[in-house]
Amino acid sequence: MADMNTDRKGLIICISGPSGAGKGTVVAGVRALIPDMATSVSVTTRPPRGTEQEGVDYYYRTKEQFQDMIARGEILEHDVYCDNYYGTPSTHLRKMSEQGTDTLLDLTVLGSINLKKIFGDTALIIFLMPPSMEVLESRLRNRGTDSEEKIAQRLETAAEEIGRKDEFDYVVVNDDLDTAIAEVMALIDRKRSEQGLN
């Protein structure tokens, strides 16, 4: 949320978790409740899924284009997940932070951990946890977008990511969407209070 005090840095709020944990849905729920919060659209080399749109869900680039963006310093942080690159464009996020505007991001686990290192106390990183691996597997299968091999790869990666949840500021279990969104909202409010922003 924008603040008239331009001396303060904007919060960088990162939601991470395994594929199928519901990150995109929770982020959309938070955006609906805080419509003036800035968002940062990530860059990826994976193809769009379903109704995803360029510049709304992701910026879709080839691996060569992505590597060129890294070389030009246009990517603040990046990660490789399931053979695809994911990264955070640097210019927009730094501008929002400098202007005192809070920004909400849906990032990979490593992406959130890296942004916390860059932005320190102005970053709030939240790990979105599935209620169980069985539920996670069911969600991935119900998407209908991945092969058996890709689902197995995502589940293996999910187990590794869950092993890093203690590196996050908070863990929210997404077993009920409305409850998960409410918990994330409460954590944002708490962080704003700690920073003297409420």
How many Å apart are CA 97 and CA 43, to the nearest integer? Answer: 19
- What global pTM score does this model have? 0.82
More confident residue, 16 or 81: 16
pLDDT tens for residues 87-135? 999 888 889 989 989 999 988 899 899 999 999 999 999 999 999 989 8
CATH number of 12-193: 3.40.50.300
Phi, psi of 40 (to 5 degrees): -125, 120
Which residues in 90-192 belong to E strands, given as ranges?
Answer: 103-106, 123-129, 170-173
